């Protein structure tokens, strides 16, 4: 018993670890949800600190909390923001659907730490988790607000920088090999030539569009439910609390937040997070396409495409000496698969709103933030450990390009489709140069054929004649 203390709440006594800042309600949640061992993410805890600090300052501005109380709440909340009290947030993500347990966890930790400060400063006040830390708030508007703040923080600090790094790396590598044309592929079969710059710029534009799409959702994600309290009506809070709180969060984070236009929509649904999740899924599917293209282009080195050489960064086999695999691309694909799956969970969570409250906020929050983090980190890692250090197998690319019978397409305007098809089939069947076969089958000179069948010219569109 010396390692524990007894705490009380409205349901009675609870045994709590002696040095824990949390109290009875948190401990009940720890006992009730031994599910996954997965705790709230750092930015969610950080968001709780931002919420409690901003709420205290808003209530002070509105004349609802005295200065001594607010000073203590701000100081304790700041320690939550900075991560100093993370060990005191032990609750599993699979908990009450409104996130009440996590909100009370924050209230109790901040109250306990503030009361510790009271003793240090010898102030005549006692901070209460509900009456002070949670003043003018409800778990039903706090957790939805924490989700949105945490998501935007993670987008700005992890997702956008990661994607920007990948876009820049793709463009840079494309420019480095702008002079190299390779055989294009449709249906995984040889097609008309393209340059590496065209290919890599296409990938970069996918990434840039991912950034733009996600940024378009921030306007709605920046609407904060805070101020709606229990059911969206704003019972037991000041009518100007929502807007005052949003202004304080804007000051604290440097990102523009505003009070929700409609608190019933903001608390009863996950529509804005769902929109963001679906856009993350869109990017994930595109990023998987890019990573898989890299795997195909790197395949070989002797018996497959082998157009690029991905940097060897670790042994690829425990039994085959010298084997090197595209491990970064494989990790990217797994991240994308996880993000796609996370979106399904968020979608199920969104349709699980009942009347005035959604009851799957914690799992939706976790999955949404996981997708943001994973896609941002994977994009950055892809840029640094693969894209920026790959090389193009120029000789192999050139040799294969000039054996590509599909280049005969450029002769269509001159000799017609049927004649061109005959030349392509013969060149392929006899494993001969396209130009040599065309010399036999047409009246065109070698000089003319070399001009018309210039692969680089073909990458510029139009006609080669």
Percent of the chain scoring above 90 in pLDDT: 97
> What average pLDDT does the chain have?
97
Give the CATH number for residue 416: 1.10.40.30
170 and 203 in a single domain? The answer is: yes
Summarised one tens digit per residue, pLDDT across range 316-328 is 999 999 999 999 9
80-111 as b/e: b if 16+ CB within 10 A: bbeeebbebbbbbbebbbbbbbbbbbbbbbbb
298 and 366 in a single domain? The answer is: yes
108 and 216 in a single domain? The answer is: no
Summarised one tens digit per residue, pLDDT across range 12-35 is 999 999 999 999 999 999 999 999
Q: Which of 36, 216, 317, 445 is catalytic?
A: 317
Give the CATH number for residue 35: 1.10.275.10
Q: Which of 2, 187, 303, 318 is catalytic?
A: 187
- pLDDT band with cut points at 50, 70 and 90 for residue 264: very high
284 and 352 in a single domain? The answer is: yes
29 and 121 in a single domain? The answer is: yes
Percent of the chain scoring above 70 in pLDDT: 100
270 and 345 in a single domain? The answer is: yes
pLDDT of residue 121 exceeding 90: no
Which residue is listed with tokens 């991240």?
335
φ and ψ at residue 371, rounded to 5 degrees: -65, -45
Domain presence at residue 256: no
Domain presence at residue 241: no
**Can you give the pLDDT at residue 402?**
87
Task: Provide the number of structural domains found in the chain.
Answer: 3
Give the CATH number for residue 216: 1.20.200.10
Mean pLDDT of the region 261-268: 98
28 and 117 in a single domain? The answer is: yes
For the whole prediction, is pTM greater than 0.85? yes
End residue of a domain, out of 340, 367, 392: 392
Mean pLDDT of the region 101-118: 98
153 and 300 in a single domain? The answer is: yes
425 and 343 in a single domain? The answer is: no
Surface-to-core class of residue 203, CB atoms within 10 Å of its CB (0-12 exposed, 13-18 middle, 19+ buried):
buried
Domain presence at residue 373: yes
236-250 as b/e: b if 16+ CB within 10 A: ebbeebbbbbbbbbb
> Catalytic site residue 263?
no
Contact 464, 449 (CB under 8 A): no
- pLDDT band with cut points at 50, 70 and 90 for residue 119: confident
> Catalytic site residue 2?
no
338 and 216 in a single domain? The answer is: yes
- pLDDT band with cut points at 50, 70 and 90 for residue 465: confident
**Can you give the pLDDT at residue 1?**
47
pLDDT of residue 123 exceeding 90: no
164 and 284 in a single domain? The answer is: yes
Residues making up the chain, counted from first to last? 465
Domain presence at residue 7: no
Domain presence at residue 88: yes
Domain holding 199, by residue range, is 141-181+195-223+263-392
End residue of a domain, out of 392, 416, 440: 392
φ and ψ at residue 37, rounded to 5 degrees: 80, 5
DSSP character at residue 351: T
119 and 154 in a single domain? The answer is: no
């Amino acid at each position: 018993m010396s390692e524990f203390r007894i705490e009380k709440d409205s349901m009675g006594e609870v045994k709590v670890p002696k040095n824990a800042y949390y109290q009875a309600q948190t401990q009940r949640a720890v006992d009730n949800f031994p599910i996954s061992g997965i705790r709230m993410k750092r930015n969610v805890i950080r968001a709780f600190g931002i919420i409690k600090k901003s709420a205290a300052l808003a209530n002070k501005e509105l004349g609802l909390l005295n200065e001594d109380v607010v000073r203590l709440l701000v100081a304790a909340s700041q320690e939550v923001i900075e991560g100093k009290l993370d060990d005191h947030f032990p609750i599993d993500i699979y908990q009450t659907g409104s996130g009440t347990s996590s909100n009370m966890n924050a209230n109790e930790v901040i109250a306990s730490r503030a009361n510790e400060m009271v003793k240090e400063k010898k102030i005549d006040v006692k901070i209460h988790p509900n009456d002070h830390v949670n003043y003018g708030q409800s778990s039903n508007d706090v957790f939805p607000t924490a989700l949105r703040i945490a998501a935007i923080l993670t987008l700005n600090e992890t997702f956008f920088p990661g994607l920007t790094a990948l876009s820049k790396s793709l463009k840079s590598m494309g420019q480095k090999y702008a002079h190299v044309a390779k055989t294009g592929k449709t249906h995984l079969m040889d097609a008309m030539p393209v340059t590496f710059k065209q290919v890599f710029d296409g990938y970069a534009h996918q990434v840039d569009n991912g950034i733009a799409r996600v940024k378009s959702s921030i306007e709605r994600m920046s609407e904060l439910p805070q101020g709606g309290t229990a059911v969206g009506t704003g019972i037991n809070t000041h009518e100007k609390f929502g807007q005052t709180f949003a202004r304080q969060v804007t000051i604290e984070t440097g990102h523009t937040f505003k009070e929700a236009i409609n608190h019933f929509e903001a608390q009863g649904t996950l529509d804005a997070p769902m929109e963001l999740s679906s856009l993350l899924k869109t990017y994930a599917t595109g990023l998987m396409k890019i990573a898989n293209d890299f795997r195909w282009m790197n395949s070989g080195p002797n018996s497959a495409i082998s157009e690029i050489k991905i940097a060897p960064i670790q042994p690829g086999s425990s039994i085959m000496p010298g084997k090197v695999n595209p491990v970064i691309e494989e990790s990217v694909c797994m991240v994308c698969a996880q993000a796609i799956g996370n979106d399904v969970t968020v979608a199920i969570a969104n349709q699980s709103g009942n009347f005035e409250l959604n009851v799957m906020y914690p799992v939706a929050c976790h999955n949404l933030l996981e997708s943001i983090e994973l896609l941002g980190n994977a994009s950055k890692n892809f840029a640094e450990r693969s894209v920026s250090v790959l090389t193009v197998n120029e000789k192999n690319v050139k040799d294969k390009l000039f054996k590509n019978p599909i280049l005969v397409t450029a002769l269509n305007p001159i000799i017609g489709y049927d004649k061109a098809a005959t030349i392509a089939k013969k060149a392929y069947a006899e494993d001969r140069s396209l130009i040599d076969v065309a010399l036999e089958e047409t009246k065109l000179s070698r000089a003319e054929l070399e001009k018309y069948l210039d692969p680089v010219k073909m990458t510029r569109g139009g006609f080669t004649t």
